[in-house]
């Protein structure tokens, strides 16, 4: 039995065939819309980083993606750009949920969404510990497009709120710093949150290091959806 499991997971670990667009490929050539490339230009961002070249096309194509790249390589925009592009086409309900292990990361991610999404009137909402629950509930009731949350506080809202957090229309689940999120610390919180998301969502896992628990989550989702993840590393 054990042997079978090992063999299976070894097979799945084999890199899937994928192509990364060459350096100097533009955001436009990756499929990013003009309104976003214009915003990027105004931020002095001209060319995509390697992890962005690797991940933006499969995310736009609807794939579940694991993106591995070291800190500072631009992983946030690698998921935020394709999410914003899809959101601009279909802005209904809470569109994206981004989970991250710390408040600081949540605020940083929210800031990138805010800047990149300024042309489409993006409503983002940060849900983290240490902020007033009532204020957050009111913000959640205003139906943000993107929720950026630490797991503990989001769980509190799901438990306490009378329908303020409706995750039933989420199209994208992002686990940023997935290695840390999928550590035992957050397991009980994630166990409460994930069942509230629709099964047909796109799942994006971003991490600096690959761990067994990331691969376990991938295996569980692949089995359920009968659809493979794309692995992209830079």
* Site for ligand ADP, rule CB under 6 A: 45, 48-49, 52, 69, 71-77
Least distance CB 84 / ligand ADP (angstroms): 14
Least distance CB 193 / ligand ADP (angstroms): 21
Q: Does 155 bind Mg ion (CB under 5 A)?
A: no
HSE at residue 209, side-chain half, CA atoms within 13 A, is: 8
Residue whose CB is less far from ligand ADP, 90 or 104: 104
Determine the Cα–Cα distance for residues 106 and 216; give it in Å rounded to an integer: 24
Q: Which of 172, 176, 175, 220 is nearest to 198 (CA)?
A: 172
Can you say how many angstroms the Cα of residue 207 is from the centroid of all Cα atoms in its chain?
11
Instruction: Note whether 37 and 26 are within 8 A (CB).
Output: yes
Least distance CB 152 / ligand ADP (angstroms): 21
Least distance CB 84 / Mg ion (angstroms): 16
Considering CB distances under 5 to 8 angstroms, the limit depending on partner class, which of Mg ion, ligand ADP, none binds residue 96? none
| CA diameter of the chain | 56
Least distance CB 98 / ligand ADP (angstroms): 12
Least distance CB 80 / Mg ion (angstroms): 10
Residue whose CB is less far from Mg ion, 174 or 193: 174
- Two tokens, residue 134: 């009532």
Residue whose CB is less far from ligand ADP, 79 or 186: 79
Q: Does 75 bind Mg ion (CB under 5 A)?
A: yes
Q: Does 231 bind Mg ion (CB under 5 A)?
A: no
197: left (phi over 0), alpha (psi -120 to 50) or beta: beta
Considering CB distances under 5 to 8 angstroms, the limit depending on partner class, which of Mg ion, ligand ADP, none binds residue 147? none
Considering CB distances under 5 to 8 angstroms, the limit depending on partner class, which of Mg ion, ligand ADP, none binds residue 77? ligand ADP
Instruction: Note whether 18 and 98 are within 8 A (CB).
Output: no
Residue whose CB is less far from ligand ADP, 24 or 71: 71
Considering CB distances under 5 to 8 angstroms, the limit depending on partner class, which of Mg ion, ligand ADP, none binds residue 158? none
Residue whose CB is less far from ligand ADP, 43 or 138: 43
Determine the Cα–Cα distance for residues 64 and 68; give it in Å rounded to an integer: 13
Residue whose CB is less far from ligand ADP, 76 or 88: 76
Give the footprint of Mg ion on this chain (CB under 5 A).
75
């Amino acid at each position: 039995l054990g042997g079978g499991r090992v063999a299976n997971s070894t097979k799945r670990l084999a890199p899937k065939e994928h192509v990364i667009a060459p350096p100097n490929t533009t955001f436009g050539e990756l499929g990013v819309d003009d309104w976003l490339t214009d915003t990027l230009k105004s931020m002095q961002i001209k060319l995509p980083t390697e992890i962005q070249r690797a991940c933006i096309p499969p995310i736009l194509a609807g794939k579940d993606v694991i993106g591995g790249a070291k800190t500072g390589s631009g992983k946030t925009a690698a998921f935020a750009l394709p999410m914003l592009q899809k959101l601009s086409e279909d802005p209904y309900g809470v569109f994206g949920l981004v989970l991250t292990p710390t408040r600081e990361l949540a605020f940083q991610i929210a800031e990138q969404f805010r800047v990149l999404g300024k042309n489409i009137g993006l409503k983002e909402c940060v849900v983290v510990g240490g902020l007033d629950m009532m204020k957050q509930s009111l913000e959640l009731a205003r139906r943000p497009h993107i929720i950026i949350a630490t797991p503990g506080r989001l769980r509190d809202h799901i438990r306490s709120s009378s329908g303020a957090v409706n995750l039933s229309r989420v199209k994208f689940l992002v686990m940023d710093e997935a290695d840390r999120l999928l550590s035992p610390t957050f397991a009980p919180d994630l166990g409460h949150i994930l069942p509230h998301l629709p099964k047909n969502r796109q799942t994006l896992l971003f991490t600096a290091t690959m761990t067994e628990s990331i691969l376990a989550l991938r295996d569980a989702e692949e089995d359920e959806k009968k659809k493979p993840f794309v692995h992209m590393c830079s």
